[in-house]
Amino acid sequence: MSRIAEVLLPIAVPEAFDYAEPEGMALVPGSLVHVPLGPRTVLGVVASLRDGGGGNRPLKPVLEALTEPPLPPATLAFVQWAARYSIDVPGAALAMTLRGLRAPRPRPERRLVVTGQMPARLTATRQSVMDAATDPISGPELARKAGVSSGVIKALVDEGVLRQILTEPDPGFGAPDLALTGAALNPSQAAAAKALIDLVQTGGFGAVLLDGVTGSGKTEVYLEAAAAALAKHPDAQVLVLLPEIALTQAVLARFEQRFGARPAEWHSGIAPPRRRQIWEAVVSGQCRIVVGARSALFLPFSDLKLIVVDEEHDGSYKQDEGFIYQARDLAVVRAKMEKALVVLASATPSLETVWNAETGRYGWLKLSARHGAAVLPDIDLIDLRSSPLESGRWLSPPLVQAMAQTYARGEQSLLFLNRRGYAPLVLCKACGERMCAPDTESWLVEHRYTGRLVCHLTGFSMPKPKACPHCFAIDSLVSIGPGVERVEEEVRERFPEARIEVFSSDTVRDAASARALVQRMTEGEIDILVATQAAAKGHNFPNLTLVGVVDADLGLRGGDLRAAERTFQLLVQASGRAGRHDRPGRALLQTYLPEHGVMQALKAQDRDGFVAAEMVERELARLPPFGRLAAVIASGPDVQALETYVQALAAAVPNAQGVEVFGPADAPQALIRGRRRKRFLVRADRSVDLQGFLSAWRARAKVPNSVRVVFDVDPYSFL
């Protein structure tokens, strides 16, 4: 009897489509196939197979089964689970997994091989070429290997002794050398490493919080867990997730030093042909170590034994566009499906992770001291009310004095301000107009390096005008507030002889430039680094002894429930860049709110006290981790149609115990790209099936064609 293949497609359709399996195709769940969809041919994945026959009409057949290995069962199950969890169609999650497969293959490379024909005149030089060409090899490489000129190679090609062939480029995934040993560990590191190794060797699912202060050597600990995982099985694979591309190079280097082979690097900056190479090597098991950004979690691993989520608290693990997911939480689920160990590493773990560790759902390993002779930096607050800033200046006298002393000693300073560009607001002093992006209420940020005004929300960019677009007054636009470029301008005025650079996503646009800047800082070629959060975590600068936080209050503004937690985490991470080697470090935090609980906890370096106080507040409000949140965002160009829909949606809220729905209300960013936005916020007890509630609610109100609705489970952004 013929079979029916249920095929998932990486497009926005709500379910799998049925196709007939042609005779002899021998499909299995996970098979990669081409199928017809209207006039198009699309790539899909077989979700399941069942016996066919008896249908109302004949099904279109599967056109082709690809030669690539099928998606592993755990990968297929993970994709489908992730879609259900995120209240999205399965195709949205599947598109994440198939991204590498849909990229073009690398171009074939020209290689030379010996034909077996002898040259008319055999010389020692020609013999050396023939001896060197034992495997397909490029012409220049063969010339270097044999120690001859390119003319000798060309002559042998012309005689037919060598011939050109086209070969697939070597992906360069060397096997890890498990005989190599790691760095010497202190007793605390050794105990944590042994605990992780025991869990790996026991096998099965496990989740562990690796909780270590900044500079305590967490990477060396999880490297030993990786060694144990790779040794467990010849095809075992390891995935390390990082929040920033800038951190990838340092971790890649640590893995290469530990295992003698460079891991695969996966993030948005990887060229599509390389992405295809990595995808194919991962699904075949040839690539055994991947270091990458959050999307690496969707790669089709064939035998995944260990997942590490480094800096697990970082907000970058939350994707809030396209397919919306929190990679940290999904990493735990994927590890469970793979029967693997997941290690969540951080100096400032998220409250959700701490709660899971306190309640015994996760193991908890602690590293309470820095590695070697290094000690934690002293943290002091600069009260800007008693040490006011000079007009047009952003660095207080105590901070400037500390920078001067640090510079005089030949040590490095880092000034931290998590705000890109020159100024966050440009307004007209004649009429008060605030420069905003068209069809968006987001302020335009001045970037003086490029002379442009940029919307960091939509990407809109324009030259800074000479006249106000509203009242046409000439030279009336003024810059309000500081960004890193403005701070750098002040630093250059105060320290004209110093070597100063800016580290932000505007000045460091790719992995290569990030690697180069980090190298310059590490080797002492920079005296003062002005940086956003791109430099606030994970980096190890031996000569950096002073961190100055320009605006410590910045993250506390607004109504975000995680504002205090995020500010504490970010400032601990930024401060932790100082004094990581044998020289003591210090951090100075400029603040107008020195009495705030976050500032007092930072000064006292009392993380446990801060966490305990935050937990009490969250529990009283039944907010995460003691409850669950979801956001529903509706948007549309027609204000009336949008309002009609959200009112219908509000009237359709299902009756459910333990659930509160707030809204609809205008979103804080109420207009983006010409679309008005309305938000609902859902709070639910932990016992509630939140996904079931949201799915039922969505089905009770028909969405007009002009309205777009997005569900965000566990939201991190409240724009």
Task: Report the chain's terminal Cα–Cα distance, integer Å.
Answer: 55
Distance of alpha carbon 140 from alpha carbon 149, whole angstroms? 9
pLDDT at 518: 87
Percent of the chain clearing pLDDT 70 (strictly above): 98
Q: Which residues pair with 531 in a beta bridge?
A: 416, 503
Q: Which residue has the higher pLDDT, 332 or 449?
A: 332
Residue 303 burial (10 A CB sphere; 0-12, 13-18, 19+): middle
Over residues 369-382, the mean pLDDT reads 79
Distance of alpha carbon 350 from alpha carbon 386, whole angstroms? 33
Q: What are the two backbone dihedrals, phi and then psi, of residue 128, each rounded to the nearest 5 degrees?
A: -65, -35
* Integer CA distances (angstroms), 538 to 266, 495, 580, 678, in order: 18, 27, 11, 37
Give 651-657's long-range contacts (Cβ < 8 A, gap of 24+). Answer: 651/701, 652/697, 652/700, 652/701, 653/697, 654/693, 654/696, 654/697, 654/700, 656/688, 656/693, 657/688
Each residue's pLDDT tens digit, 503-527: 988 887 777 788 888 889 999 999 9
Distance of alpha carbon 113 from alpha carbon 128, whole angstroms? 14
Q: Which residue has the higher pLDDT, 2 or 705?
A: 705
Spatial CB neighbours of 285, under 8 Å, sequence gap ≥ 6 = 235, 237, 302, 303
Q: What are the two backbone dihedrals, phi and then psi, of residue 143, each rounded to the nearest 5 degrees?
A: -60, -40
CB of 290 within 8 A of CB of 278?
Answer: yes
Over residues 553-567, the mean pLDDT reads 82
Over residues 597-606, the mean pLDDT reads 93
Distance of alpha carbon 291 from alpha carbon 2, whole angstroms? 43
CB of 239 within 8 A of CB of 304?
Answer: yes
Over residues 77-100, the mean pLDDT reads 96
Return the DSSP state at 633: E
pLDDT at 558: 63
Strand, helix or coil for residue 604: helix
Number of H helices, E strands in the chain: 19, 31
Angle at 346 between CA 378 and CA 301, to 5 degrees: 155
| Mean of pLDDT over the chain | 92
Residue 229 burial (10 A CB sphere; 0-12, 13-18, 19+): buried
Angle at 334 between CA 330 and CA 339, to 5 degrees: 150
Half-sphere exposure of residue 149, counting CA atoms within 13 Å on the CB side? Answer: 3
Each residue's pLDDT tens digit, 453-466: 998 888 899 999 99
Distance of alpha carbon 484 from alpha carbon 449, whole angstroms? 11
Least confident segment among 189-193, 244-248, 610-614, 637-641: 244-248
CB of 37 within 8 A of CB of 252?
Answer: no
Each residue's pLDDT tens digit, 266-320: 998 899 999 999 999 999 999 999 999 999 999 999 999 999 999 999 999 999 8
Token representation of residue 400: 């400037």
Distance of alpha carbon 219 from alpha carbon 221, whole angstroms? 5
Q: Any idea which residue has 């305990």 for tokens?
A: 612
Delineate the domains of the chain, giving CATH numbers in brackets: 3-97 (3.40.1440.60), 109-167 (1.10.10), 187-367 (3.40.50.300), 373-419+483-622 (3.40.50.300), 420-481 (no CATH), 627-713 (3.30.70.600)
Angle at 607 between CA 602 and CA 608, to 5 degrees: 145
Of 82, 6, 357, 1, nearest in space to 206 by CA:
357
How many other CB atoms are there within 10 angstroms of residue 404's CB atom? Answer: 14
Each residue's pLDDT tens digit, 393-430: 999 999 999 999 999 999 999 999 988 899 989 999 99
* Integer CA distances (angstroms), 694 to 479, 689, 713, in order: 44, 9, 9
Over residues 12-38, the mean pLDDT reads 94
Each residue's pLDDT tens digit, 96-137: 999 999 999 888 888 999 998 998 888 988 999 998 988 888
Which pLDDT band holds residue 253 (cuts at 50, 70, 90)? confident
Strand, helix or coil for residue 365: strand
Least confident segment among 280-294, 524-538, 663-677: 524-538
Each residue's pLDDT tens digit, 144-192: 999 999 899 999 999 899 999 988 888 888 899 999 998 899 999 999 9
